[in-house]
Structure formats: structure tokens, C-alpha cells
Amino acid sequence: MSKEKKETALVVISEAGLKVARTIQKELPNAIIYYKGEAEGTYFISSYQTFVEEHFGECSALIFVGALGICVRCIAAQVAHKYHDPAVVNVDSTGKFVIPVLSGHVGGGNELARHLAGITGGEAIITTQSDNQDLWALDLLAGQWGWHTTISPQEMNQAIFAFVGGKKTALLLEVRTSGAEHLEASRPPHVDIFYQYEDIPLAKYDLLISVGYSIYSPQNILHLAYYTPLLTLGVGCKRDCPTLGVSDTIEQTLISAGISPLAIGEIATIELKKDEPLIAHLAKHFTCPSPQIYTASQLGEIEVPHPSQKVYETTGVWGVAEASALASSQKGRLLIEKTKGSTKNENDFTFAVALPLSCDRSQGHIEIVGAGPGDPELISVRGKKMLQRADLILYAGSLVPRELTLYGKEGAVIRSSANMNLEEQFSLMKEFYDKGLFVVRLHTGDPCIYGAIAEQMAFFDRYNMSYHITPGISSFQAAAAALRSQFTIPEEVQTIILTRGEGRTPMPEREQLHLLARSQSTMCIYLSAVIVERVQAELLQVYPPNTPVAACYKLTHKEERIYRGELSQLAQLVRENNLTLTTLLVVGKAIDHREGVSRLYADEFKHLFRK
């Protein structure tokens, strides 16, 4: 067979290993099987030793299938440095044992071994200390989260040695990001977390790990700094502004302000300047994605600290650099206000730097969390983590089981909103937010489906507050599980409609139930048990009377009850069983459907499951 460009080489030592190699290749389609013999689908090699000598530096991974001793002898002369060597994994010919031999940690050999063990049904033999102790892999964190670090390999090794040795470690989380949240949630016992550098009693610690944008120079302590590229650089310039020296000026200003240039993650400007060479130059210099471009009307809505009449007359906005930085950071905080720079002429360009609102630990944050349908174990992993971090948990007490609030940390304030009006809820959340604290607003199900978050978000927007939504499992998904039904049927029902009947809340004319029902889709009808007769009458205009229905009360709660029947019996089911507002009505032939065999796993669809 012809030799193709490869990423992973599967080196099979004996015929006995071919079966395992082919099993692996099905899951790793870019892998090429090399074999010292004739076998279909393999690439012939005359010598294992020679093959490794010629291809060691070309492969991202080498997987040997056979005896471990042969693997070791083949690679021994090629081993150079853990930061450059490929991952080498050895799998015995039965697939029972999978051993990362080289670059298990930095090169990804450990992770590859776990993957291969999952393919072969074998056991991954991992010996790396940080992996076995479930500690952070300090030398992999930057790559995992897209961070940067300037620490040397020698200093990194010293940091790893201290960390895995259990030395007292201070972790400074200057920003709020997914990576920082991960470190916070998985903190080992010998690590203490801080949010401000000034609060750290450095003399008590052997290692300082910082995550953020600031440059720190602590004395007499090993320091591992990760810089998160999340700052926004807003730029304005004169037409055809020269690029020479501009990036140096900006970097010097950043460093003088104690900010690492490695923390710049986005360039922003006004549409008028989008084709200026300087903008492309800065994006390339700071290794940013395509610049964020804003119209004059978008930037004109942003209030800037240093408005300029001259800039307004030219561009239609009061300040391009500051407005662009603020727009790109969701109206965050300016770390560097409008700064003028020059090349050959006076004041050829201006720039400003902003920290995104959602990442700023100097202020609070509100996480709107979907609690799921009721069972405390059906909250998402992220939702649970948010509850564990919260300083205030404000939950919909009439709908969300209090058991969910037990995930809260010691000392957290837990309040039910059942007897609070919106103004009282806003006031409480803002009180905690203004203190720089973390607030969780806990809603039932998924907060974006028949929730009441739009007016809350309007309030947060009005006060320029940082917030985010963590989705949850909706009751329609819980209904499908409880009914043991697939709500879509190949070639018959491919649509699920989430809707409600018309009660005190009017429905748009185009969304009347009898109109939606024309598609004969699976319908999940919320908040409609009290008007069930009207719902049934509308549905009967389109659905056959014997269409399967289910009335699902308090799904996944301890009080869960489910009643099945036909559409002609729907109102009777609801009334006779005294079902209330927490009832979801499901209508459609997909309920309990078992006829036919799904074609999803037929040969013509197998390509869908290959990477």
C-alpha cells in the first residue's frame, strides 16, 4: 500500500498483534499499521529499528503492539527530551496491558494509553506521580486552557517537584475563567486559594502559582505564572499609520502597568479602521484571532472616560480605543485608559486595554443555574460546582427541592424566593454582588424554557452586572426518560414541540395548539393542567382520539406520578387525579413506540460514528 502522511504509527511486532492493531485503527483512523511481514491493510517495513530511527521525529505517537522489551530497545537511542519526544505506548498482543513508555505526561502518552485501554478493554498502567495522585499537571495546564507561561523547563521541573511533593502552595486566581474554576474546584489539600496578591503571606509558602494578567515578582519563593489571554486591546489610528514601533510602545506601556503582554487576547476597533495595516499587524503580533470590528452606532452607545470632540467629528464616536476595548469586554473595566502613541508624527495612534466583565474578580458575579426537573442528582456537574462556590443561593422555593441547596458551602446564605417579589430578589442579589460575591439564582428545569429570567437579565444589563447561564435538564427530557420513549421516530416523527395552552397568558395566533398540532409532532405542553379541557379540544381538531398521551406530575420528584391514556381521556386523567400546575402533558404516537427497527446502525450510517 502507498505510504501516507501519518500522525500515529502502529508498529506490530508479530502476527498475533494484528487483530489488536486493527481494532485500534478503527478508533484511530489516521493511524497507519506498520508490519514486518505481508498483511492486508499494513505498510511493510524491513526492520523495526530502522523504521524508528527514520520516523521517530515525524510521528506524534508511536504505538507498539507486542513485547515491551522490543519497544524499549527500538526507541532507546532516539530518546532526547520530554518536551520534544513523541508519545510512545506499548500494548501487548492481547490488548490486556497498555503501558505509556515515553512522554507519558507532557507528550500525552498517559492519555493515549487510557484511550487505547478503552478500545481494547485492557488496563492502562500509569506510573506518573501527578496522574496517580490526581494532582494538576502543571506542565500541561497552559496547553489545556490556552494560557501562556514564560517559566523555563528547569523552573517548571522545580515547580512540579515541589507541587507533587506536597509542598505548601499558594494559588492566586486573579481572574474568573473556566480554567480558574477548574483549579478552584479541584484544589488539593496542600493548596490555599487567594484572589488578591496582597493577601498572600508569601513566607508561609514554598510555591506560588498565579493565574491572571498581572506581572508579579515575589522574592524567595518559586513562582509559576500563567497568563490568560483575555484582555481586549482597543485601537484607534490615523489613516495609513506606520506599524514600526507600535507594538513595542504598547508592550512597554503594558509592562509599566504591571500587565503581561501575553494576556492580550483580542484586538478591537471601529469599522472605519478595519482595513488599516496597523490593526492586522497588532492581531498578528499578539497572536489574536481576527479583530473585533464595531460600527459607529455600536460604539456611540458606550460612555468613555476621555471623550474627544475631534475624534467624534472624524469617526462619529467619542473615543475609538476606549469604546472598542469596552465593547469587546462587555463593558468591563479599563486597566489602561486611552493612551496616545506616535511613530513619525504626533499622536498617530491610541490604545486602551480592558478586562472582560465576566472575568473581573473585583466585582461580583451572578450564575443563573438550571436545577433540572427535581431530582438533586439530575443537576449538571457545572451547576453543582456553581452551588458549591456560591456565597448566596437564591432558589425558587416553590419549585426547586431544598435538597439541591445542600450542595452549598459552609457559610453560604440560602434564601427562597417564594415569598419575595422581583424588587426584593434584585435587591438581595445586588447586595451580594456589590460586595464582590458569587450569587447563584437557582431555577427549576432549564431556566431558558418557560423560566422568568428575561426580566432578571434586563435588570442585570441595566446595572452592567456580570452574569452567565448554566443550562439544566428540562422536564420534557425527564418525561421521555420516565416514559421510556424516544420522542422522535425515524421517518415518522422528527420534531418535538415545546409549548403551552392559552390561559391567562395569551398565545400568538400563529401558535394556537390546533395549528401547531397539524405537524403530528410529539407535543410537550407546559403550564396547562388547569385548562386541560381547552387543550384537549384543540388537539382533537387534528390528532386522532386514540393518540397516546401522558400526564406527568412532578417528574423526578419523590411525588412523581405518571398517567397514560389516549387523547380522548386526557382531561379525565388530569381531573380524576387532581393534577396541578407542575404537570407536563405529552401527546404523540412516539409515546411507548416500539415498532420497527432503527436504521441508525445500518451499514450506510456507520460513517457518522467515525471521527
Q: Cα–Cα distance between 300 and 480 in angstroms, integer? A: 48
The reply to whether 451 and 485 lie within a common domain is no
pLDDT for res 3: 42
Q: Does residue 277 form part of some domain?
A: yes
The reply to whether 196 and 285 lie within a common domain is no
Q: Of 317, 334, 355, which marks where a domain is finished? A: 355
pLDDT for res 80: 84
What value does the mean pLDDT take over residues 548-562? 95
Asked if 351 and 326 count as a contact pair (C-beta separation under 8 A), the reply is: no
Residue 269 has pLDDT above 90, yes or no: yes
The reply to whether 223 and 250 lie within a common domain is no
Q: Which helix (DSSP H) or strand (DSSP E) does residue 11 occupy?
A: strand 8-12
pLDDT digits (tens, 9 = 90+) for 275-309: 999 999 999 999 999 999 999 999 998 999 999 99
pLDDT digits (tens, 9 = 90+) for 392-402: 999 988 788 88
- Average pLDDT, rounded, for the chain: 91
The reply to whether 235 and 348 lie within a common domain is yes
Task: Read off the CATH number of the domain in which 439 is found.
Answer: 3.40.1010.10
The reply to whether 189 and 201 lie within a common domain is yes
Residue 420 has pLDDT above 60, yes or no: yes
From 569, 367, 371, select the one nearest 478 (Cα to Cα).
371
DSSP state of 148: B
What value does the mean pLDDT take over residues 351-363? 94
Q: Does residue 602 form part of some domain?
A: no
Q: Is 565 exposed, middle or buried (0-12, 13-18, 19+ CB in 10 A)?
A: middle
Residue 606 has pLDDT above 70, yes or no: no
Query: What are the start-end ranges of the H helices in 402-490?
Result: 422-433, 454-462, 475-482
Residue 204 has pLDDT above 70, yes or no: yes
| DSSP string computed for 533-593 | HHHHHHHTTTS-TT-EEEEEESTTSTT-EEEEEEGGGHHHHHHHTT--TTEEEEESTTTT-
Parent domain of 99: 8-127
pLDDT for res 185: 86
pLDDT for res 601: 53
User: How many secondary structure helices (H) and strands (E) does the chain include?
Assistant: 20, 26
Residues 6 or more apart in contact with residue 234 via CB below 8 angstroms? 268, 269, 320, 321, 322, 323, 324, 325, 326, 327, 328, 351, 352, 353, 354
Residue 533 has pLDDT above 80, yes or no: yes
Give the residue, 508 or 452, on which the prediction is more confident.
508
Q: Please indicate, yes or no, whether the overall pTM of this predicted structure exceeds 0.85.
A: no
Task: Read off the CATH number of the domain in which 491 is found.
Answer: 3.30.950.10
The reply to whether 254 and 206 lie within a common domain is no
pLDDT tier at 603, thresholds 50, 70, 90: low
pLDDT for res 132: 54
Q: Does residue 102 form part of some domain?
A: yes
Helix 422-433 with 454-462: angle, nearest 10 deg: 50
Cell of 533: 379541557
Q: Is 244 exposed, middle or buried (0-12, 13-18, 19+ CB in 10 A)?
A: exposed
Number of domains composing the chain: 5
The reply to whether 404 and 480 lie within a common domain is no
Residue 5 has pLDDT above 60, yes or no: no
Q: Does residue 608 form part of some domain?
A: no
Q: Cα–Cα distance between 379 and 404 in angstroms, integer? A: 8
pLDDT digits (tens, 9 = 90+) for 19-41: 999 999 999 888 999 999 889 98
Asked if 440 and 394 count as a contact pair (C-beta separation under 8 A), the reply is: yes
Q: Of 355, 375, 405, which marks where a domain is finished? A: 355
The reply to whether 248 and 351 lie within a common domain is yes
Give the residue, 319 or 506, on which the prediction is more confident.
319
CA distances from 135 to 187, 554, 603 (A): 9, 41, 43
Cell of 458: 434586563
pLDDT for res 131: 59
DSSP state of 508: P
Residues 6 or more apart in contact with residue 594 via CB below 8 angstroms? none
What value does the mean pLDDT take over residues 572-585? 93
pLDDT digits (tens, 9 = 90+) for 312-329: 999 999 999 999 999 999
Q: Phi and psi (nearest 5°) for 10?
A: -100, 105
The reply to whether 120 and 147 lie within a common domain is no
CA distances from 595 to 392, 563, 591, 598 (A): 50, 22, 11, 9
The reply to whether 60 and 169 lie within a common domain is no
Q: Does residue 276 form part of some domain?
A: yes
pLDDT for res 364: 93
Q: Phi and psi (nearest 5°) for 201?
A: -80, 85
Residue 4 has pLDDT above 60, yes or no: no
The reply to whether 186 and 287 lie within a common domain is no
pLDDT for res 347: 64
Largest Cα–Cα separation, the chain: 85
Q: Does residue 196 form part of some domain?
A: yes
Asked if 34 and 4 count as a contact pair (C-beta separation under 8 A), the reply is: no
Place of cell 485492557: 122
What value does the mean pLDDT take over residues 589-607? 67
What value does the mean pLDDT take over residues 424-453? 93
pLDDT for res 108: 81
Q: Of 161, 196, 227, which marks where a domain is finished? A: 227
Question: Across 180-184, 339-343, 547-551, which has the greatest mean pLDDT?
Answer: 547-551
Residue 608 has pLDDT above 60, yes or no: no
The reply to whether 215 and 290 lie within a common domain is no
Q: Does residue 580 form part of some domain?
A: yes
pLDDT tier at 60, thresholds 50, 70, 90: confident
pLDDT tier at 218, thresholds 50, 70, 90: very high
pLDDT for res 223: 97
pLDDT digits (tens, 9 = 90+) for 62-115: 999 999 999 999 999 989 877 778 899 999 999 999 999 988 666 788 889 989
Task: Read off the CATH number of the domain in which 271 is found.
Answer: 3.30.420.180
Q: Does residue 94 form part of some domain?
A: yes
- For the beta carbon of residue 524, count every other beta carbon within 10 angstroms: 25
pLDDT for res 505: 81
Residue 600 has pLDDT above 60, yes or no: no
pLDDT digits (tens, 9 = 90+) for 114-143: 899 999 999 988 877 665 567 888 988 998
pLDDT for res 82: 73
